[in-house]
């Protein structure tokens, strides 16, 4: 008999709305002795079947739903899920502009905890949950079969794995993938370090936003904060920016950014790379009265969970306040949050407060989010993690 979880009375409502997460506080008791990642049946307090889910004994999210049907969760089930995700990307509008995109987007594609990014002829696979870890080898084999790509590199080194009781792991999973490669995006080339870079090597979710920044950057002096390997910067220089200054705390990322500038035959003399703390550098610019026509703020997660929201709000307020003060009249601020604990409404409220304290009048001229290859399932609003605003000051 399959192990099962029985919920407390009135705790089935989110599952009936098809939200995939089951928190530990909703569980009345566990029957059987499920292993980490093993599939369990979910019942309400009256014994009615609700779903099948992957069990995670150490996580506060104690189970993640595979299916709301009473069906087997096996290799054939996973093949159907992966095949659907891949077919959806085959019809994506991203393909004319890039050879790299997200192939599987975890809960939003019905496979909790599995991220798969395609970089040309290489797949980078990220396993974030106990359930995805349980099926890792089968998932890798299925990806080779369905995507027709033999090279898979694993980047299961995100901090969230510790919440699942999983050790970090990175390395070759299938084939012989290189650790560094070159991708193309909107006619530009980028070096990607899939072994050591952030996330799976590149911020694929910002593709459309990078392209937009390029369109807006012509004849402007631009400041790119938290620039990583210079994605926004290369787009800006290539589309006619007057000058670009890029700041990041990682010297290795800046070295790769400089290589990207050379790779695209862009003039080095109009670009400045600064290794340093963005908060300190912005204050230095303020004190020296240096200003810009356009500023990009794309920081790392300040609030991975709701418990860090208050501290994160102060951080977002601080950098946006400083950025508003550094903008010339008519200047543009492109500002982002990728913190799951900060929703779009709160982020807009924070940016509005920063503008008020900076003493500037500003308008939102465009709202931004992750690309279409990072879909948001309607039953999983947490999938809308990336929020962005294009603001214009008077």
Q: Are residues 278 and 385 in the same domain?
A: yes
Q: Are residues 108 and 214 in the same domain?
A: no
Q: Are residues 212 and 163 in the same domain?
A: no
Please report whether residue 278 resides in a domain: yes
pLDDT of residue 305: 66
Compute CA distances 376 → 37, 77, 106, 171, 298, whole Å: 24, 21, 10, 29, 20
pLDDT at residue 92 tops 80: no
Told to judge if 338 belongs to the known catalytic residues of this protein, a careful annotator would answer yes
Q: Are 50 and 44 in contact (CB under 8 A)?
A: yes
User: What CATH number does residue 297 fall under?
Assistant: 3.40.50.150
% of the chain with per-residue pLDDT over 90: 92
Q: Are residues 256 and 280 in the same domain?
A: yes
User: What CATH number does residue 26 fall under?
Assistant: 2.30.130.10
Please report whether residue 50 resides in a domain: yes
User: What CATH number does residue 159 fall under?
Assistant: 3.30.750.80
Q: Are residues 104 and 246 in the same domain?
A: no
pLDDT at residue 140 tops 80: yes
| Residue where a domain stops, chosen among 14, 41, 67 | 67
Least confident interval from 91-100, 117-126, 365-374: 91-100
CA distance 303 to 298: 14
Please report whether residue 49 resides in a domain: yes
Q: How many domains does one find in the chain? A: 3
List, for residues 57-84, the tens digit of each pLDDT value: 999 999 999 999 999 999 999 999 999 9
**pLDDT mean over 328-332:** 98
pLDDT at residue 307 tops 80: no
| Residue where a domain stops, chosen among 32, 48, 67 | 67
Please report whether residue 225 resides in a domain: yes
Element (H, E) at 315: helix 309-326
Q: Are 130 and 56 in contact (CB under 8 A)?
A: yes
Please report whether residue 196 resides in a domain: no
Q: What is the DSSP string of 216-275?
A: H-TT-EEEEES-TTTHHHHHHHHTT-SEEEEEES-HHHHHHHHHHHHHTT--GGGEEEEE
Please report whether residue 189 resides in a domain: no
Q: Are residues 80 and 28 in the same domain?
A: no
Q: Closest Cα to residue 85, out of 60, 107, 66?
A: 107
Please report whether residue 197 resides in a domain: no
List, for residues 182-236, the tens digit of each pLDDT value: 999 999 999 999 999 999 999 999 999 999 999 999 999 999 999 999 999 999 9
Q: Are residues 79 and 63 in the same domain?
A: no
Which residue among 225, 227, 338, 391 is the active-site one?
Answer: 338
**pLDDT mean over 267-283:** 94
Please report whether residue 169 resides in a domain: yes
Q: Are 365 and 390 in contact (CB under 8 A)?
A: yes
Average pLDDT, the chain: 95
Q: How confident is the model at residue 337 (pLDDT cuts 50, 70, 90)?
A: very high
Range of the domain at 98: 75-181
């Amino acid at each position: 008999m399959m192990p099962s979880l029985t919920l407390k009375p009135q705790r089935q409502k989110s599952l009936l709305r098809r939200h995939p997460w089951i928190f530990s506080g909703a569980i009345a008791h566990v029957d059987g002795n499920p292993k980490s990642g093993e599939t369990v049946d979910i019942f309400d307090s009256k014994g009615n079947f609700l779903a099948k889910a992957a069990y995670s004994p150490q996580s506060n999210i104690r189970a993640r739903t595979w299916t709301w049907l009473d069906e087997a969760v096996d290799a054939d089930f996973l093949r159907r899920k992966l095949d659907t995700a891949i077919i959806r990307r085959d019809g994506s509008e991203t393909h004319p502009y890039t050879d790299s995109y997200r192939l599987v987007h975890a809960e939003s594609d019905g496979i909790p905890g599995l991220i798969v990014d395609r970089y040309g002829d290489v797949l980078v696979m990220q396993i974030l949950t106990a359930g995805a870890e349980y099926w890792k080898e089968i998932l890798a084999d299925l990806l080779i079969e369905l995507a027709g790509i033999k090279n898979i590199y694993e980047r299961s080194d995100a901090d969230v794995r510790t919440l699942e009781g999983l050790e970090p792991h990175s390395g070759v999973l299938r084939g012989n993938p290189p650790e560094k490669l070159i991708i193309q995006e909107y006619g530009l080339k980028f070096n990607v370090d899939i072994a050591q870079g952030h996330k799976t090597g590149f911020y694929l979710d910002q593709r459309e936003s990078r392209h937009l920044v390029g369109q807006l950057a012509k004849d402007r002096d631009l400041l790119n904060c938290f620039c990583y390997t210079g994605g926004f910067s290369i787009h800006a220089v290539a589309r006619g920016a007057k000058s670009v200054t890029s700041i990041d705390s990682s010297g290795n990322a800046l070295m790769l950014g400089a290589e990207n500038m050379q790779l695209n035959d862009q003039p080095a003399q109009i670009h400045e790379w600064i290794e340093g703390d963005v908060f300190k550098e912005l204050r230095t610019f303020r004190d020296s009265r240096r200003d810009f026509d356009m500023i990009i703020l794309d920081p790392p997660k300040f609030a991975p969970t709701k418990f860090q929201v208050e501290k994160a709000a102060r951080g977002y307020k601080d950098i946006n306040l400083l950025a508003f003060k550094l903008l010339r009249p008519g200047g543009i601020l492109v500002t982002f949050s990728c913190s799951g604990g900060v929703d779009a409404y709160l982020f807009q409220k924070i940016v509005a407060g920063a503008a008020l304290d900076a003493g500037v009048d500003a308008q939102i001229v465009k709202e931004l989010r992750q690309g279409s290859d990072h879909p948001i399932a309607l039953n999983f609003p947490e999938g809308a993690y990336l929020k962005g605003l294009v603001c214009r000051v008077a």
